[in-house]
Amino acid sequence: MNWTKISFYILLAVVLAGALIFYRWIFSYLIASMIFSYILHPAVSFLEQRRIPRWAGVIMLYLSVAGAVAWFTSRYIPELIAQGNNLFTLLSHEGGLDVSSIMQLPFVNGIYEYAQQLDAQIPGLNASSRMLEMIDGATDFLVKLPKFLLDNYSSIIGAVSFVFTIPLISFFLLKDWHKIRKAFLGFSSNRYFELSIILLSKIDKTVGTYLRAMLFEVIAVGTMASIALSVVGVSNPVLIGISAGVANIIPYFGPFFGGALAVFTVFFDGGPFLSMVYAALAMYIVQVIDNNIVYPVVVGTTIDMHPLWVLLTVLAGGWYGGILWMLISVPLVFLVYQLVRVLYTNLKEFRII
């Protein structure tokens, strides 16, 4: 290699490093826009096949999405806010979540009376006092929960500019999809061109299909859970349904969150034990439908990860970046694993390694 080439590559590396430093603030915007574009790309291509240019297709889709969001907002947001306030009040100190108020709940009171009877019959058991200690500990944890949720909501509100910028960047990504793809592949040398095309196709297929499937599943589970909880008479069904739908992204553990939220809502509402069973049963039926119909049909294959690996990934995601990363860490790790596997296989087949 001659000095001219070496100098050029050094210059290129310096320019790239400079660009990375300069543009580092917008990486999150770019990644979010790419995710948004992957979700909408098939619809834009579908319209393009029917003689609607990409720019017009993107605008049509944006108008449709904006219409759907506007309808959902006008129809459900006031109700959701009311349900959210209701749930927070239920879980907050001011709303009466202390040991004495919990002891007034019929279900808890029944258990407490039974524990007192046991204490009378078995000297030294102290079941009733231990029960009071347990409730006190659990109350402390739950009292901190609304503040934690509210803190996260404030950061969500702070990200409004983020949300409004994404469609703008996505517009250009979608409009010039083919040009960007061609430009990206244009950088690869002839030796790596075919490999790059295979990888890009795999990324398109894996990431695009997975993201669209997850979005559909979140909506499906959210809708089914809201309807099921309304039918069994759980309060705040839409909010719990949406939370269950979003939590469903985490395999194995996500579904438990939705179920637990529904059961705890009935519990703190002072509902009878049977209502808790109905709530759990409703969420179980939703999961059965999701696991046996929605997921196999929409996603095709499940995320083939060991439950322990999923648990460790969720924990690591939580430590790294809070609730958002807990939700995205499992799909992210799965996708990276898939891509590394495809890369390794093809590097071997092309005899590069």
Partner 1 sequence: MKSIYDWLISLFHKPQMYLGYRVFRIFQELSSYELYLLHGIVHQRSFKANEVLYETGYPMEVIYLIIEGEISLNDVEHQIGKDKVLGLWDMFSGAKRNSTAIAQTDVSVYAISRSDLMELMEARPRLGMKILQGCCAEIVQDALILRAREH
Q: Which stretch binds partner 1 (CB under 8 A): 138-146, 164-172, 185-193, 236-244?
A: 185-193
CA distance 111 to 93: 23
Q: Which parts of 159-189 fold into alpha helices (H)? A: 160-175, 177-186
CA distance 226 to 236: 9
**CB 321 to partner 1: min, Å:** 34
Q: Which stretch binds partner 1 (CB under 8 A): 17-25, 48-56, 143-151, 242-250?
A: 48-56
Is position 65 an interface residue for partner 1 (rule: CB under 8 A)?
no
Position among 68, 185, 281, 288 found at the interface with partner 1 (CB under 8 A): 185
Is position 123 an interface residue for partner 1 (rule: CB under 8 A)?
no
Q: Which stretch binds partner 1 (CB under 8 A): 60-68, 147-155, 178-186, 258-266?
A: 178-186
Is position 88 an interface residue for partner 1 (rule: CB under 8 A)?
no
**CB 29 to partner 1: min, Å:** 25
Position among 55, 192, 257, 264 found at the interface with partner 1 (CB under 8 A): 55
> Which residues touch 80 (CB under 8 Å, ≥6 apart)?
238, 239, 242
Is position 79 an interface residue for partner 1 (rule: CB under 8 A)?
no
CA distance 29 to 6: 34
Of 39 and 221, nearer to partner 1 (C-beta) is 39
Position among 9, 193, 319, 344 found at the interface with partner 1 (CB under 8 A): 193
**CB 166 to partner 1: min, Å:** 23
> Would you give the end-to-end CA distance of the chain in angstroms?
22
**CB 164 to partner 1: min, Å:** 23
Does residue 72 contact residue 241 with C-beta atoms inside 8 Å? no
Is position 344 an interface residue for partner 1 (rule: CB under 8 A)?
no
Is position 56 an interface residue for partner 1 (rule: CB under 8 A)?
yes
Tell me how far CA of residue 126 lies from CA of 76, 117, 140, in angstroms: 48, 10, 22
Position among 53, 137, 300, 307 found at the interface with partner 1 (CB under 8 A): 53
Of 99 and 198, nearer to partner 1 (C-beta) is 198
Is position 51 an interface residue for partner 1 (rule: CB under 8 A)?
yes
Would you call 302 helix, strand, or coil by DSSP?
coil
Per-residue x/- track, 200-229, partner 1 (CB under 8 A): -x----------------------------
CA distance 286 to 306: 23
* Ramachandran assignment for 234, one of left (phi > 0), alpha (psi -120 to 50 degrees), beta (any other): beta
Q: Which stretch binds partner 1 (CB under 8 A): 18-26, 85-93, 188-196, 298-306?
A: 188-196
CA distance 2 to 298: 54
Position among 32, 35, 43, 48 found at the interface with partner 1 (CB under 8 A): 48
Q: The tokens of 62 are what? A: 């944006």
Q: The tokens of 116 are what? A: 């007192």
Q: Which parts of the chain fold into alpha helices (H)? A: 3-23, 27-49, 54-91, 99-103, 106-121, 127-158, 160-175, 177-186, 190-231, 237-247, 254-268, 273-289, 295-298, 307-349
Q: Which stretch binds partner 1 (CB under 8 A): 23-31, 41-49, 164-172, 230-238?
A: 41-49
Position among 32, 80, 198, 227 found at the interface with partner 1 (CB under 8 A): 198
Is position 63 an interface residue for partner 1 (rule: CB under 8 A)?
no
Q: Which residue has the tokens 């970046």?
A: 321
CA distance 66 to 171: 14
Of 96 and 300, nearer to partner 1 (C-beta) is 300
Residues that bind partner 1 (CB under 8 A): 45-46, 48-49, 51, 53, 55-56, 178, 182, 185-186, 190, 193-194, 197-198, 201, 346, 349-351
